[in-house]
Structure 1
Amino acid sequence: MMKMLIGGAWTDASSGRTMGVVNPATWAEIGSVPLGGPEDAGAAVEAAEGALAGWSEVPALERGRVLARTAALVREEVGRLAALLVAEQGKPLREATDEVRGFAHILEYYAGLSSSLHGETMATKAYGRIVIEKRPLGVCVGIVPWNMPVIIAGWKIGPALLAGNTMVLKPASTTPLTTLEIGELFVRAGLPPGVLNIVTGPGESLGEALVTHPAVRKVSFTGEVGTGRHVAEAAAPTMKHLTLELGGSDPAIVCDDADLEEAAAGVVRGRFYNCGQVCTAVKRVYVFSSVADRFRALVKEKTERIVVGDGMGAGVGMGPLNNAAGYERMQQIADDLSGEARFLTGGAATGTKGWFFTPTVVTDLPAGALPLREEVFGPILPVIEVHDLDEAIEGANSTNYGLGASIWTKSLERAERGCRDLEAGIVWVNQHLKIPPEAPFGGTKGSGIGRENGPRSLDRYTEERSILIRL
């Protein structure tokens, strides 16, 4: 059994209870972690409070060096960490390896920003010297989802710690193992006890206690919309800073002048990466009618080439869904669509052990069909014909989500129109899905508030204080 990291010590839950972690490809239990609750949340926050004064006084350059040393250790352990991530999350080894390396890259990126943490000074005749300080917020909480547990942990840990805050991190109950292993690497890199605490347990007890704790100054939550709304409500009485990334129903628009081969490849990759369990995955495609037949044929062909299986298998391009709830949800959606849409390929479970579902492409959906209204967090791709860009943009903007969107075209005018009119926090042109740590990440409308990544993410982990000096 792995243990929680609280105050630099590895500990069991106060209740003494544990919860198992299951491999989604085999249904075998691969480990267990403490079943933490409110008392453990309190202990972790207390440890973070105790470490705050010392860590915030460490020069930013040295804080950056700790992140860089941790990144180096992660790179040394990529193979072991990636295999563990496959076992608990289900994604193919190649994707898991990219994610672990991406975590190291994020820490390296923030380490490189360590010299940019400074305030401003200005002189005025009327008021004297004005000094604007940037101070850490204090104890921060990061709540991480199961779909991209390592990379999203990096988005939260990197800027929080570099800015001088301490953090309590809660990984998802189905994917805590790799995060705990990375916690050990932070300890080995010389991170002082209590600066990063990792606690495990269910959101309704452990997560709730963290979000409502009066000593917590910021909550960064990534997850589904309903839970995000609850987090906002629970954090409001103590006026906590919030970053909420709440998923999306990302549209892709394929124009009649697009490179259809490239667009089809990008859409298939953008939909079925991580078994479609990505908030910025392509979740709806609007294609011009004049090229729709050719585009659908290319998408079908490329989708049917995807090898589905255990993520550790050679040549596997898509693993299982991470959990039973997601698996049952995909079956229900496919069943509901079977009487009202046309399936180009897929649409069923594979019939093997594990939460495997075939990559699915559907077309001729009726207006108001669920995949056109809600986020489908799995390998089902709807393709919708439109007459022109006006109709495509209208359809793309028709949901309450606004995380990402893409437009595929060779026309600069159309690309500019898409970037201007698509309601999304991220817009790609002739690409989709990936985002580097340099680019701010977040959505609009129901997809959340705030941004992660980018140099200005440090502003979201600091508070400005104005000092006026007149001698």
Structure 2
Amino acid sequence: MHYVNGKWQQGYGEPFVSNNPVTEEMLWQGQAATTEEVHQAFAAADEAQAAWSALGWEERAKAIRRFATVVNQHVDILTKAISDEVGKPLWDAATEAKAVAAKCEITIDAYQQLCDETQVSTNTLNGRVVYRPLGVVAVIGPFNFPAHIANGQIVPALLAGNCVVFKPSELTPYAAQVMVELWEKAGLPPGVLNLVQGGVSTSQAILAEPKLRGLFFTGSRATGVKLREALTHRLEVLLALELGGNNPLIVHRPASIDETVDRVIKSAYLTSGQRCTCARRLIVTGDAEPILRRLVEKTRDITVGRPSDQPEPFMGSLIHANAVQNVLRFQSDLLAHGAIPLIESKQLSLGAAFVSPGIIDVTNCTSRTDEEVFGPLLQVIRVPDLDAAIREANDTQYGLAAGILCADRAHFDRFREHIQSGLINWNLPTTGASGRLPFGGIGQSGNYRPAGYHAINFCHVPIAEVEALPEGTDAK
């Protein structure tokens, strides 16, 4: 179903379905939005834009707080939708659902803290900074956090006074529909938030929309590049991209082997390795055998299972069977070029979308590509010292998340001074992120800070207002 101008409607484009990756049963079916339906969504948003912007941020904040209340009242429904569609254990899906509500108050605080209230006065003029929304913006969301990441861009966009056309991943239409239903329950005015479902053709229709003024995308680098190319001549459209990374985690003289191993496992395997901040490269210095032995032992103990299992598993499924095959193909290619398996990742009998966590020593691999492997496969790289580790960590086109596990503050200081990354961690999993700090990468990992506390900054434009003072008037 699509949600346009406050009404739910069937689509008329290409039919598609979403299957539960655990049970392989159909969860959702519908038809993609056609070009005309996308146009209707933008027309509705454009019609609602002036009134929504004119409300003022305080009234818009009230609407967003109502949504947070509704989410908290229906958190179990949203949790189950996420778990059913993505294959996450219920504890993992619940963490995401609760973050949807928490994002609201954080964004309201960010709006108040980050807006510049500078005023300039002289004998002849008064000047001030004011903020204007971009206009109608589109949010194209990812599958791995189908509610939280998209909502993390929808909320600041709405608070800044924009109206939104939301296209979720074609892999997670159901979770997105449930979230928009909660926005509807919160009483958002018609046209302020519109939902269009679909794949590439729907995205292309969004890109061609004359009324588009901002596009916020989270996903693969390849798709991000295509979006940027498509908008090359659309200088009026702000494009904010979060594109993942080949994230490094350095282990250098840590204080505790067990604590180190726990943080490595949480870095590499949370959400079955389907987080953009997951560590893909484990860079170890000196004699790392004790750490690696313990890591292998603890990784073998990781439980992989269905969301309904009791006790709940640490890892669930991947998004679909093809994702498993992508991980296994990448692993096979590494092994064919000299990598050494410490634990091979294997497809599990639980179902076609289940795969076990793997650890591959690629130190002497003759063909290592700088790719983001979106799954539970960790590559180990051995180096002699910290300087070599930092060089290895920076040997990537990406720059999203990076971390170091070490006991000495001086080693961390050297790391943070030289690492090329938008998120820098010391003695923490790379997968942790504070909603009250900026979130985003550098290099090929994207631009702006497309999530986190500073997302509000790309959702509106600071304008200089300057007015002449009548002769004899005192400046204010």
What TM-score comes out, normalization by structure 1 length? 0.95
| The one of 314, 339, 351 aligned to 2:349 | 351
| The one of 167, 171, 179 aligned to 1:170 | 167
How many angstroms does 1:114 deviate by? 5.4
Structure 1 residue matching 2:233: 3-state secondary structure: helix
| The one of 412, 432, 435 aligned to 1:434 | 432
Per-residue deviation, residues 258-297 of structure 1 (Å, max 9, x unmatched): 422112111111111111111110110011122x111111
Alignment-derived partner of residue 473 in structure 2 = none
Per-residue deviation, residues 7-42 of structure 1 (Å, max 9, x unmatched): 110011134x53111111122112213322322211
CA distance in 2, matches of 1:6, 1:116: 33
> Which letter maps to 2:43?
E
301-310 vs 243-252, which deviates more? 301-310
The correspondence of residues 45-444 of structure 1 with structure 2, limited to 5 A, is 45-113=42-110, 115=112, 120=117, 122-125=119-122, 127-202=124-199, 204-239=200-235, 240-290=237-287, 292-314=288-310, 315-339=312-336, 340-370=338-368, 373-431=370-428, 432-444=430-442
350-359 vs 261-270, which deviates more? 350-359
> Which letter maps to 2:340?
R
How many angstroms does 1:60 deviate by? 1.0
> Which letter maps to 1:433?
T
> Which letter maps to 2:67?
T
Structure 2 residue matching 1:395: 3-state secondary structure: helix
CA distance in 2, matches of 1:25, 1:287: 35
How many angstroms does 1:119 deviate by? 5.6
Structure 2 residue matching 1:400: 3-state secondary structure: coil
**Percent sequence identity over matched residues?**
32
CA distance in 2, matches of 1:111, 1:33: 35
Structure 1 residue matching 2:354: 3-state secondary structure: coil
- Is the contact made by 2:110 and 2:454 (CA closer than 8 Å) also made in structure 1? no
CA distance in 1, matches of 2:75, 2:194: 22
CA distance in 1, matches of 2:114, 2:383: 48
- Is the contact made by 2:17 and 2:30 (CA closer than 8 Å) also made in structure 1? yes
CA distance in 1, matches of 2:294, 2:132: 53
CA distance in 2, matches of 1:125, 1:302: 67
Structure 1 residue matching 2:244: 3-state secondary structure: coil
Distance 1:95 1:349, change over 3 A: same
> Which letter maps to 1:384?
I
- Is the contact made by 1:4 and 1:33 (CA closer than 8 Å) also made in structure 2? no
| The one of 4, 25, 33 aligned to 1:6 | 4
> Which letter maps to 1:259?
S
How many angstroms does 1:185 deviate by? 1.2
Matched, 1:23 2:20: yes
Structure 2 residue matching 1:146: 3-state secondary structure: coil
Structure 1 residue matching 2:147: 3-state secondary structure: helix
> Which letter maps to 2:382?
E
Distance 1:175 1:468, change over 3 A: same
CA distance in 1, matches of 2:335, 2:239: 41
Structure 1 residue matching 2:231: 3-state secondary structure: helix
448-457 vs 401-410, which deviates more? 448-457
Per-residue deviation, residues 206-263 of structure 1 (Å, max 9, x unmatched): 0111123121111011111111011111122221111111110110000124422112
> Which letter maps to 1:463?
V
Structure 1 residue matching 2:249: 3-state secondary structure: strand
Structure 2 residue matching 1:443: 3-state secondary structure: coil
How many angstroms does 1:145 deviate by? 0.9
Alignment-derived partner of residue 38 in structure 1 = 35
Structure 1 residue matching 2:126: 3-state secondary structure: strand
How many angstroms does 1:454 deviate by? 4.5
How many angstroms does 1:113 deviate by? 4.3
Distance 1:308 1:456, change over 3 A: closer
CA distance in 2, matches of 1:380, 1:234: 33
Distance 1:116 1:403, change over 3 A: closer
211-220 vs 392-401, which deviates more? 211-220
CA distance in 2, matches of 1:345, 1:149: 30
Per-residue deviation, residues 446-467 of structure 1 (Å, max 9, x unmatched): 1111113455322211112222
- Is the contact made by 1:121 and 1:131 (CA closer than 8 Å) also made in structure 2? yes
How many angstroms does 1:359 deviate by? 0.7
Structure 1 unaligned segments of length 5 or more: list them: none
- Is the contact made by 1:6 and 1:47 (CA closer than 8 Å) also made in structure 2? yes
Alignment-derived partner of residue 444 in structure 2 = 446
What TM-score comes out, normalization by structure 2 length? 0.94
How many angstroms does 1:108 deviate by? 2.3
